A and B are shown apart, each in its own frame.
Chain A
Amino acid sequence: MGQLGRALLLLGLGVAAYGAGASLYGVRAGRRDWVDSGRRAVYALAGLMVLAFVVLEIAFLRNDFSFTVVAQTSSTTTPTFYKLTAPWSSQQGSLLLWVTLSSLWSSLVLFLTRRRLREIAPYATAVLLGFSGFFLALAAFAANPFHTVANPPADGAGLDPLLQHPSMMFHPPMLYSGYTLMAIPFAFGVGALISGKLGSEWIRDTRRFALAGWLFLGTGIILGARWSYTELGWGGYWGWDAVENAALMPWLCITAFIHSIQIQEKRGMLKVWNMSLIMLAGTLAVFGTFLVRSGVLDSIHAFGASTLGVPFVALLAVMIASSIGLIVWRRERLRSEHELDSLLSREAMFVFQNLVLVAIVFVIFWITLFPLISQALTGTKVSVGPPAFTPFVVPLALILMLLTGIGPMISWRRATVANLKRNFSFPVAAGLITLVAVLGLTDAGRKPFAVAAFALGAFVAAGVFQELYRGAGARRASTHDAWPVAVFALVRRNRRRYGGYTVHLGLAVLLVGVAASSSFQHSSDVWLKPGQSAHLDGYTFRYVRPTASASPTKLEFGAVLDVMRGRRHVVTLNPTRGYYPSVNASDGPIGRFFDNTNADTTVGLDAGPLRDIWTVANPNLQPLAGEIDRGNQVFTAEIDKVIQQTSNLSLARQSAALAPIWILRDEAVAGLVRDYARHGWPVEFQVLVMPLVTWLWVGATIIGFGGLLALWPLPALARRRRLAPYRARLARELV
């Protein structure tokens, strides 16, 4: 199996090298057969990588501990679900996943464009195979997932408890899909620049992939935020962690591109800017992968000591230098066809919105890398956290929200007073009414940024509903459809437009959730004995009793916590902490089951439309320490005695002799667990009350739905209508 996997990697590397060479030779020599062969090499690579990934998955499912990566990240007791996710929990497996996804997406785009973009696609093929080759080379020579050992251990170390979370199945593959999809516009952009075919066609063919990358990366980010929200010590749903930021930056870039490309399509403007955004997004996607693997920055996320930093820096240098070089080389052909007519126009709003998004990217990039910058300048590493981000990102996000509301409602080219009055009266009124209501009915005035977010959220939402109402109303005037039918038909025929509006609505909802939950959060850390209570933000938290249970994989200690508001019972929560057997022999035969540093916390969460109540319990096992020490002494002596007595017997007979001791040990552990449940030792609780946090997830879901709507193919007739302007434009360019 290991040999098969290694052979597949090397074969894949050969195929990637051949495909890149064939594509370049084919396009330079005008040999279509070589170009086709290069494209088929991408399909072949995808097949090989899927096969390699299946081999690795089978090794995990079969508990084949001769694979180093299986022994390190899985075990016989790891549930099957997590065995399936374990490959991408390791450096080696995640590199293989990267190549597999990259080759699959590359195959898809090259298959869809096989009869078009004949001058651009071969260069794009070479670039895409170059990326795959780079990651394959790392997987084959620096972090091989198919490395095996001659004497495998009887069992593996298991997947880290913290990674045993359902999100592990979806969060990393979503992020990797997003990152790898970013490479597609990058590759076609490079192809367009080299070939000089800088018209609209390649943009139309790859825009869907940019949008898919945006959707996957966004979904990955939000799944990560949700996961982080339910883990203790990961900084809540957003901690401005280096790895979180690394995913956000390309997402923001591609968001800017999705908007500004409309101006290029409609008016032939911003060509240099759009090309730069594509290049920046592609480069930042690789930069994000580099940050995860190099360990150059402190992060709560997974960083290991790694030797992969240098090759990544080299790749980034090549990407940046070639992007700048190609854009400068083709600057004449990238000249805008029109000027901006007015600052009061949709084009201008898109430009402002783009500038704000790029400014946010720059702020995040600078502050994320600031520890390295300061170390280079002053010799001392400096820690910067959320306080450095918020003074910049919050006002910029509010400006972005304002532009999100204005953009869809303002006219192309030049807005008139009549247009402004007609389109903005209702949304502005909605925003102002919200502002007055929030200030008058609540004490939110002490947080001006949050209040502004609420008012702007109402402004954006009102604008979206107004557009939908007017569009459906116009349709009804001619078809006399019922309102729901008119709305459905309108959206169905204008998916990209209304998908975009849905995304705007989701963004407004999400930012309101973020503003409320971060500005008006209450938290407290308390020690309670059973029967004692703590008070926070009008809620009473009463520690009712301890809970404790033992299962083959872990011990779980927790608390029953009653939450009351006045005399009304709100909810009963059960935060717990699971203790997994440690692999550290010095913990002792009993102590290894109670290792506080090999545990994970399950949050007691009550989510609601108005507020979330979030609790964790940190059980105090200290009173059991004496019993654990005694147990360690007794069982260590017994185990040593049996091992001495059976030292001349076979391993199997020695194991059989030890079996009764393991039964007694398990009973002793169960006894200690019962002891904990019987006694009412004090427990440390952390409790948080966060308003409107649910709306963050609702907003994210709306954004995802809007993205899917925009991505979904149009019906045939609508597509023909939609494509008519592109075809006309293409014809003009060809003439």
Chain B
Amino acid sequence: MDPSRKRAIRLSVALTAALLLATSLIYVSFNAGRDEFTASQLLKRAQPGGQYILAGTVLDGSVRYVGAKLYFSIRDPKQHVAVPVRYSGIVPDPFAAGRAVLVNVTDEHGTFVGEPNSLTTKCPSKYQAASGAYS
């Protein structure tokens, strides 16, 4: 076969494969992805029974345990709005007030209940100053 024709065929096959990969990647990422809500977005849009991914910062002073349940509030990093969350399940080590978290929640008539073991916490920032010193 003519080498230039051979090259053209190979290029067409490679480009078709790349196009297929790109198309399926775009399709899957839009379908596999779930919207991430801030506290203010969640308060506006949440419907009873709806499941959401809530992202934000753990409100200072909001963390408390009652029995086996962990209660905390997640605040919107840009607005003075916070959403209370009730969570059960293993709590990641880095979880603490002031740290950024993601948690899957279900709106149970105004109470946001965290899905067990869905809590993800950013690592205690290597690159953030600690809030104070030992007394």
Chain B at the A interface: SS class = loop
Residue of B53, B55, B126 contacting most chain A CB atoms (<10 Å): B126
Give residues of chain B (84-135) contacting chain A, Cβ–Cβ below 8 Å.
89-97, 100, 102, 116-117, 119-135
Give residues of chain A (128-175) contacting chain B, Cβ–Cβ below 8 Å.
153-158, 160, 162-163
14 A-B residue contacts at CB 8 Å?
Answer: A94-B126, A300-B94, A301-B122, A302-B124, A302-B126, A303-B122, A304-B126, A370-B33, A374-B29, A384-B29, A388-B29, A583-B135, A584-B132, A598-B96
Task: Find chain A residues with CB under 8 A from B125 CB.
Answer: 302-304
Given contacts A387-B32, A391-B28, contact A583 B3 (CB under 8 A): no
- The answer to whether A162 and B93 touch across the interface, beta carbons within 8 angstroms, is yes
Give the distance in Å from the alpha carbon of A155 to the alpha carbon of B133 in the complex.
Answer: 7
- The answer to whether A89 and B32 touch across the interface, beta carbons within 8 angstroms, is no
Contact with A along B8-52 (1 / 0, CB 8 A): 001000100010010011001110111110000000000000000
A232 CB-CB contact with B under 8 Å: yes
Given contacts A94-B126, A304-B127, A684-B90, contact A233 B121 (CB under 8 A): yes
Contact of B93 among A155, A233, A299, A625 (CB under 8 A): A233
- The answer to whether A233 and B68 touch across the interface, beta carbons within 8 angstroms, is no
Minimum distance in angstroms from B26 CB to a CB of chain A:
8
**Interface size (B, Cβ < 8 Å)?**
54
Task: Find chain B residues with CB under 8 A from A705 CB.
Answer: none
Give the distance in Å from the alpha carbon of A72 to the alpha carbon of B130 in the complex.
Answer: 6
Give the distance in Å from the alpha carbon of A158 to the alpha carbon of B30 in the complex.
Answer: 42
Give residues of chain A (371-392) contacting chain B, Cβ–Cβ below 8 Å.
371, 374, 380-385, 387-388, 391-392
Contact with B along A592-625 (1 / 0, CB 8 A): 0000111111000000000000001010111001
- The answer to whether A381 and B36 touch across the interface, beta carbons within 8 angstroms, is yes
By a beta-carbon cutoff of 8 Å, the part of chain B in contact with chain A is: 3, 7, 10, 14, 18, 21, 24-25, 28-30, 32-36, 53, 55, 61, 63, 65-68, 89-97, 100, 102, 116-117, 119-135
Given contacts A157-B132, A298-B100, A597-B97, contact A91 B126 (CB under 8 A): yes
Give the distance in Å from the alpha carbon of A601 to the alpha carbon of B36 in the complex.
Answer: 28
- The answer to whether B134 and A306 touch across the interface, beta carbons within 8 angstroms, is no
A429 CB-CB contact with B under 8 Å: no
Residue of A231, A388, A625 contacting most chain B CB atoms (<10 Å): A388
Minimal Cβ-Cβ distance residue in B for A527: B68
- The answer to whether B3 and A339 touch across the interface, beta carbons within 8 angstroms, is yes
- The answer to whether A158 and B36 touch across the interface, beta carbons within 8 angstroms, is no
Give the distance in Å from the alpha carbon of A621 to the alpha carbon of B91 in the complex.
Answer: 14
Contact of B36 among A75, A94, A383 (CB under 8 A): A383
Minimum distance in angstroms from A665 CB to a CB of chain B:
12
- The answer to whether A305 and B134 touch across the interface, beta carbons within 8 angstroms, is no
Given contacts A380-B35, A383-B34, contact A618 B91 (CB under 8 A): yes
Minimal Cβ-Cβ distance residue in A for B99: A597
Minimum distance in angstroms from B134 CB to a CB of chain A:
5
- The answer to whether B133 and A153 touch across the interface, beta carbons within 8 angstroms, is yes
Minimal Cβ-Cβ distance residue in A for B31: A388
- The answer to whether A293 and B127 touch across the interface, beta carbons within 8 angstroms, is yes
Minimal Cβ-Cβ distance residue in B for A586: B61
Task: Find chain B residues with CB under 8 A from A366 CB.
Answer: 25, 29
By a beta-carbon cutoff of 8 Å, the part of chain A in contact with chain B is: 68, 71-73, 75, 89-91, 94, 153-158, 160, 162-163, 231-235, 293, 298-306, 339-340, 355, 359, 362-363, 366-367, 370-371, 374, 380-385, 387-388, 391-392, 525, 527, 581, 583-586, 596-601, 616, 618, 620-622, 625, 682, 684, 686
- The answer to whether B32 and A303 touch across the interface, beta carbons within 8 angstroms, is no
Given contacts A300-B121, A388-B32, contact A154 B127 (CB under 8 A): no
Minimum distance in angstroms from A17 CB to a CB of chain B:
27
- The answer to whether B126 and A622 touch across the interface, beta carbons within 8 angstroms, is no
Give the distance in Å from the alpha carbon of A89 to the alpha carbon of B124 in the complex.
Answer: 10
Top-5 shortest CB links A-B: A233-B92, A157-B130, A302-B126, A597-B96, A304-B127
- The answer to whether A367 and B36 touch across the interface, beta carbons within 8 angstroms, is no
Minimum distance in angstroms from A350 CB to a CB of chain B:
15
Contact of A616 among B28, B68, B90, B133 (CB under 8 A): B90
Residue of B18, B117, B125 contacting most chain A CB atoms (<10 Å): B125
Contact of B29 among A298, A359, A370 (CB under 8 A): A370
- The answer to whether B90 and A298 touch across the interface, beta carbons within 8 angstroms, is no
- The answer to whether B126 and A384 touch across the interface, beta carbons within 8 angstroms, is no
- The answer to whether B134 and A581 touch across the interface, beta carbons within 8 angstroms, is yes
Known contacts A163-B126, A686-B90; 10 additional CB pairs below 8 A are A72-B129, A90-B127, A154-B133, A157-B133, A234-B123, A300-B120, A304-B128, A583-B133, A586-B61, A599-B93
- The answer to whether A233 and B94 touch across the interface, beta carbons within 8 angstroms, is yes
- The answer to whether B36 and A371 touch across the interface, beta carbons within 8 angstroms, is yes
Task: Find chain B residues with CB under 8 A from A235 CB.
Answer: 120
Minimum distance in angstroms from A295 CB to a CB of chain B:
8
Task: Find chain B residues with CB under 8 A from A232 CB.
Answer: 90, 92-93
Task: Find chain A residues with CB under 8 A from B14 CB.
Answer: 355
Task: Find chain A residues with CB under 8 A from B116 CB.
Answer: 525
Residue of B3, B14, B35, B66 contacting most chain A CB atoms (<10 Å): B35
Task: Find chain B residues with CB under 8 A from A616 CB.
Answer: 90
Minimum distance in angstroms from B101 CB to a CB of chain A:
9
Minimum distance in angstroms from B48 CB to a CB of chain A:
21
Given contacts A233-B91, A233-B94, A383-B53, contact A300 B122 (CB under 8 A): yes
Contact of B127 among A306, A363, A370 (CB under 8 A): A306
Minimum distance in angstroms from A301 CB to a CB of chain B:
5
Contact of A596 among B24, B91, B119 (CB under 8 A): B91
Minimum distance in angstroms from B2 CB to a CB of chain A:
12
Contact of A162 among B36, B124, B128 (CB under 8 A): B124
Given contacts A370-B33, A383-B36, A383-B102, contact A162 B94 (CB under 8 A): yes
Give the distance in Å from the alpha carbon of A383 to the alpha carbon of B97 in the complex.
Answer: 22
Give the distance in Å from the alpha carbon of A586 to the alpha carbon of B132 in the complex.
Answer: 12
- The answer to whether A300 and B133 touch across the interface, beta carbons within 8 angstroms, is no
- The answer to whether B90 and A618 touch across the interface, beta carbons within 8 angstroms, is yes
- The answer to whether A71 and B126 touch across the interface, beta carbons within 8 angstroms, is no
Task: Find chain B residues with CB under 8 A from A374 CB.
Answer: 29-30, 33
Task: Find chain B residues with CB under 8 A from A157 CB.
Answer: 130-134
Task: Find chain B residues with CB under 8 A from A300 CB.
Answer: 92, 94, 120-123
Task: Find chain A residues with CB under 8 A from B29 CB.
Answer: 366-367, 370, 374, 382, 384, 388
- The answer to whether A302 and B127 touch across the interface, beta carbons within 8 angstroms, is yes
Give the distance in Å from the alpha carbon of A162 to the alpha carbon of B29 in the complex.
Answer: 32
Give the distance in Å from the alpha carbon of A599 to the alpha carbon of B96 in the complex.
Answer: 9
Task: Find chain A residues with CB under 8 A from B93 CB.
Answer: 162, 231-234, 599-601
Task: Find chain B residues with CB under 8 A from A600 CB.
Answer: 93
Minimal Cβ-Cβ distance residue in B for A601: B93
Minimal Cβ-Cβ distance residue in B for A299: B122
Give the distance in Å from the alpha carbon of A599 to the alpha carbon of B134 in the complex.
Answer: 16
Minimum distance in angstroms from B77 CB to a CB of chain A:
9
Task: Find chain B residues with CB under 8 A from A355 CB.
Answer: 14
